């Protein structure tokens, strides 16, 4: 993308941080929009690139794992792929057993989906920032493309709110009315019913804030880490836009170093997301 | 950084992928892994049992070997005893047979001697008569002198 298209490095950064949105623009009608116009689309628009890449990564996960699962036998694993898939599943299974003590067969597959999907979406970061957006722009004329779905708060919050609804669902399923009681009679609980009644609104307020904070922090943590990393990648990429010089070499070296650092960040954030999902679901199953 | 319907779409996609994961990934693989665990546990148990069986079999084998050795020693001893016995018996028999043969031979010899003596005795009279005829140049009547001749033969 370097070479005269952008007037300032900030334009380049702005461009690379913009999603390709599909929506109804008040002035221009239905279509794909990017940059400043995305905000004008309002709520009823979707980030087309985020959704497509998220589906691609999810399909990759399901495709690879299901192909292994279809041929899964109790015999000796006959390929490295089978070994990797089985190791991943055993890792998720043992983590689930460590954190989640209830008996719910749905929890471990949810954790597996969260872990591998987030890991794959995060891993798109390892592709050079311009590789796919530039190719798409030159070949297909796609003006905007942000390929890492987890740098889109919609994606991470979508995941975390899905977890949140699962938490609500299981809380009601396991505890029933006890869940309401848990929200309204904590942290201030009294034997005296009148005093208790006075404190119910206070308790409810505090507990609900705590409850809502869980999915918001879960989603924003992942988003924040991934978005910050992406911004640094793009910033480093601007170095090479200055023409071939000392900065080109420095930029390349920095990209490499930052990518190596992300070998740590990418799986770690995926793991944290999965672990917290398990913790929240575990709390939903615990009856006090 | 706009929050929009992507959020809802993402939730729907998530639900779909969880469903696919439960149906096509988790179930079959975990079932296979459980089965493998069981298989390995069974294999290890079988190996333990086999090792125990082997130990037992070796013990049995060495026991029977010792028994066989002892029996063999007893049999050899008996055979040796029997052999010496047979040799001794044979020796005794042979000696007895020898003695018997010697005795028989001696008896025969004696008989032979006696017979020769009788024959000699019988022929003595004739020889004496013949000798006397030659000496006397005359006929000697055997009948006439038979009493004398018998007396001579009896003296021999």
Among A193-197, B46-50, B71-75, name the one with the lowest average pLDDT.
A193-197
pLDDT tops 80 at residue B117: yes
Q: How far is A11 from chain B (nearest CA, A)?
A: 16
Question: Does residue B1 fall inside a structural domain?
Answer: no
Task: State how far the Cα of B7 lies from the Cα of A153, in Å rounded to an integer.
Answer: 8
First CA to last CA distance, chain A: 58
Q: Is A83 part of the contact surface with chain B (CB cutoff 8 Å)?
A: no
Residue-level pLDDT at B103: 95
Task: State how far the Cα of A23 lies from the Cα of A25, in Å rounded to an integer.
Answer: 6
State ipTM: 0.88
Provide the residue range defining the domain that includes B90.
7-155
Question: Does residue B82 fall inside a structural domain?
Answer: yes
Residues 165-194 of A with CB under 8 A from B: 165
Distance, CA of A251 to chain centre = 28
Segments of chain A scoring below 70 in pLDDT: 1-7, 241-243, 288
∠ CA B107-B109-B111, rounded to 5°: 70
Determine, for residues A161 and B21 on separate chains, whether the beta-carbon distance falls below 8 Å: no
Q: How many domains does chain B have?
A: 1
Q: Is B30 part of the contact surface with chain A (CB cutoff 8 Å)?
A: yes
Residues 30-59 of A with CB under 8 A from B: 38-39, 41-47, 50-51, 54-55, 58
Q: How far is B3 from chain A (nearest CA, A)?
A: 6
Residue-level pLDDT at A164: 94
Indicate which residue of A10, A79, A217, A245 is catalytic: A217
Comparing CA positions, the residue from A98, A114, A116 lying closest to residue A160 is A114
For A19, residues 6+ apart whose C-beta sits below 8 A from its C-beta are A34, A38, A47, A48, A49, A50, A144, A146, A152
Domain boundaries, chain A: 77-143+150-285
When pLDDT is averaged across residues B127-142 and rounded to a whole number, the result is: 76
Among A72, A92, A167, A278, the strongest candidate for a mutation testing the B interface, having the largest count of B CBs within 10 A, is: A72
Residues B8-19: tens digit of each pLDDT: 999 999 999 999
Please name the residue of chain B whose CA is at the shortest distance from the CA of residue A35. Answer: B1
Structure tokens given for A105: 């067969």
Asked if residue A54 lies in contact with residue B12, where contact means CB atoms within 8 angstroms, the answer is no
Of A43 and B80, the one with more pLDDT: B80
Residue-level pLDDT at B141: 67
Q: Which of B2, B7, B29 sits opposite A69 (nearest CB)?
A: B29
Asked if residue A154 lies in contact with residue A50, where contact means CB atoms within 8 angstroms, the answer is yes
Residue-level pLDDT at A226: 93
Indicate which residue of A184, A225, A254, A282 is catalytic: A225
Task: State how far the Cα of A256 lies from the Cα of B81, in Å rounded to an integer.
Answer: 97
Burial class (CB in 10 A: 0-12, 13-18, 19+), A20: buried
Residue-level pLDDT at A133: 86
In the DSSP assignment, the letter for residue A24 is E
Rounded to the nearest integer, the mean pLDDT of chain A is: 87
């Amino acid at each position: 993308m370097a070479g005269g298209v952008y007037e300032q490095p900030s334009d380049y950064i702005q461009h690379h941080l913009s999603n390709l949105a599909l929506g109804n623009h008040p002035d221009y009608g239905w279509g794909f929009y990017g940059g400043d116009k995305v905000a004008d689309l309002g709520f009823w628009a979707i980030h087309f690139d985020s959704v497509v890449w998220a589906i691609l990564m999810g399909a990759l996960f399901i495709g690879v794992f299901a192909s292994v699962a279809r041929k899964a036998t109790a015999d000796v694993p006959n390929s490295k792929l089978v070994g990797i898939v089985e190791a991943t599943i055993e890792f998720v299974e043992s983590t689930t057993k460590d954190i989640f003590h209830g008996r719910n067969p749905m929890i471990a597959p949810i954790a597996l989906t969260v872990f591998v999907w987030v890991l794959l979406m995060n891993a798109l970061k390892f592709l050079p920032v311009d590789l796919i957006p530039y190719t798409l722009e030159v070949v297909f004329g796609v003006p905007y493309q942000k390929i890492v779905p987890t740098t889109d708060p919609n994606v991470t919050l979508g995941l975390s709110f899905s977890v949140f609804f699962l938490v609500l669902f299981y809380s009601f399923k396991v505890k029933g009315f006890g869940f309401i009681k848990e929200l309204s009679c904590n942290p201030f609980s009294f034997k005296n019913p009148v005093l208790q009644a006075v404190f119910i609104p206070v308790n409810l307020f505090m507990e609900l804030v705590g409850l809502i904070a869980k999915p918001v922090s879960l989603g924003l943590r992942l988003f924040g880490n991934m978005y910050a990393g992406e911004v640094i990648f793009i910033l480093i990429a601007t170095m090479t836009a200055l023409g071939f010089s000392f900065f080109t070499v420095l930029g390349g070296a920095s990209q490499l170093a930052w990518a190596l650092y992300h070998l740590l960040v990418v799986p770690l954030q995926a793991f944290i997301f999965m672990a917290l999902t398990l913790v929240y679901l575990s709390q939903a199953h615990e009856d006090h | 950084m706009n929050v929009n319907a992507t959020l809802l779409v993402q939730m729907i996609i998530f639900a779909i992928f969880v469903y696919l994961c439960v149906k096509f990934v988790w179930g079959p693989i975990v079932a296979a892994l459980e089965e493998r665990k069981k298989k390995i546990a069974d294999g290890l148990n079988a190996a333990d049992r086999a090792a125990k069986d082997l130990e037992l079999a070796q013990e049995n084998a060495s026991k029977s070997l010792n028994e066989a050795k002892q029996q063999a020693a007893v049999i050899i001893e008996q055979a040796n005893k029997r052999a010496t016995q047979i040799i001794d018996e044979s020796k005794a028999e042979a000696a007895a047979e020898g003695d018997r043969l010697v005795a028989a031979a001696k008896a025969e010899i004696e008989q032979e001697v006696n017979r020769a003596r009788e024959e000699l005795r019988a022929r003595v009279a004739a020889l004496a008569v013949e000798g006397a005829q030659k000496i006397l140049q005359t006929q000697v009547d055997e009948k006439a002198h038979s009493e004398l001749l018998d007396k001579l033969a009896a003296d021999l």
